Amino acid sequence: MAPVLEVAIFSFNRGAWLANCVESVQRNIPQARLRIHDDNSDDPHTLAVLAGMADFVVRAGPAGAADHGGLYANMQRALETAQGDFVLFLQDDMQIVRPVAADEIAAIAGIFDSDPRLGFLAPIFMKGERMKRYRRKLTPDDALRLYQPAPHAAPPITYIDTALAHVGRLREAGWRFRPSEAQNVAQALDLFGPMPFLAEPFSFFCPEVPIFRNRRQSLAARLASRIAGEGVKAFHDMTPGAVRAFKTRALNVWPVAEDFLTPTDPRVRRPFVYKDVKARWWLNALHRLEKALRR
């Protein structure tokens, strides 16, 4: 039986980005089982988007209802209710940037089968700003088309919030999502082996998105949203020719997002920034000042 991929998208008050994310999954991985885990959005536009996707929504509450518990509580719910062999965790500001064929999902199953200690795979393009770390921590594996954890790079990379997870192994190991990424990194180090990165990733973060902290926006974030508007700074899907070249390249050409992905808005900053306040120096300065004052 062919392996089943489930896609779990985590959403809060970013309706336009959620719609872009969902459409990218439906366009590029139509065979996947799709579920949206909304954390009680109360923005009217987001609620309208969710209403139009009701068949996929797992836990969207009415406006004014209690907080559902945040990202990690919803990730735990996604793991507990998953019906696929693997679950891809996506956030609403992400996008699937190229088609993912059934044979690629079968190849992912083969990678998991080759290592019983493997709980997570990274399917995401690499951020240009982090390439020094990636080159230090990972090494190309041409045979398996992976970037494997480097033998002497301690501690190894074990987990990211936007990973592909082996559902059965996480359940068997008693995995429960902890309240922070750092705690989940430590748990993954204890329960599983290091996490490889796919040489041909297919997901990434849209740049310059609205940010929330504890479900609220700073003044700088609210100003940035007004300036940027509701337009999603998405990516063009990779063309068939670009995908062929990508899949046959030498692995000394690392999958850096800025090198392979083209934003639909040519004004997007390079290297990419992922919070809209960082697109303008004065908004970023105001945001940092607000954070300092709140401390």
**Model confidence pLDDT, tens digit, residues 157-194:** 999 999 999 999 999 999 999 999 999 999 999 999 99
Global confidence as pTM: 0.88
Q: What are phi and psi of 97, to 5 degrees?
A: -105, 0
pLDDT at 64: 45
Third-level CATH fold of 5-198 = Spore Coat Polysaccharide Biosynthesis Protein SpsA; Chain A (3.90.550)
CA distance 165 to 122: 9
pLDDT at 38: 94
pLDDT at 218: 65
Burial 129-138 (b: 16+ CB within 10 A, else e): eeeeebeebb
108 three-state secondary structure: helix
Residue 226 has pLDDT above 70, yes or no: no
Mean pLDDT of all residues in the chain?
89
Burial 65-92 (b: 16+ CB within 10 A, else e): eeebeebbbbbbbbbeebebbbbbbbbb
Q: Choose between 223 and 258: higher pLDDT.
A: 258
Enumerate residues 6+ apart whose C-beta is below 8 A from 171. 79
Tokens for 182, please give them. Answer: 């750092």
- Mean pLDDT, residues 213-238 taken together: 70
Pairing of strands 120-121, 164-166: antiparallel
CA distance 288 to 237: 34
The number of C-alpha atoms within 13 Å of 281 and in the hemisphere containing its C-beta is: 0
Residue 217 has pLDDT above 80, yes or no: no
- What does the longest C-alpha to C-alpha distance in the chain come to? 56
CA distance 183 to 197: 20
Within 10 angstroms of residue 232's Cβ, the number of other Cβ atoms is 23
- Mean pLDDT, residues 31-37 taken together: 96
Helix axes 44-52, 15-28, angle to 10 degrees: 20
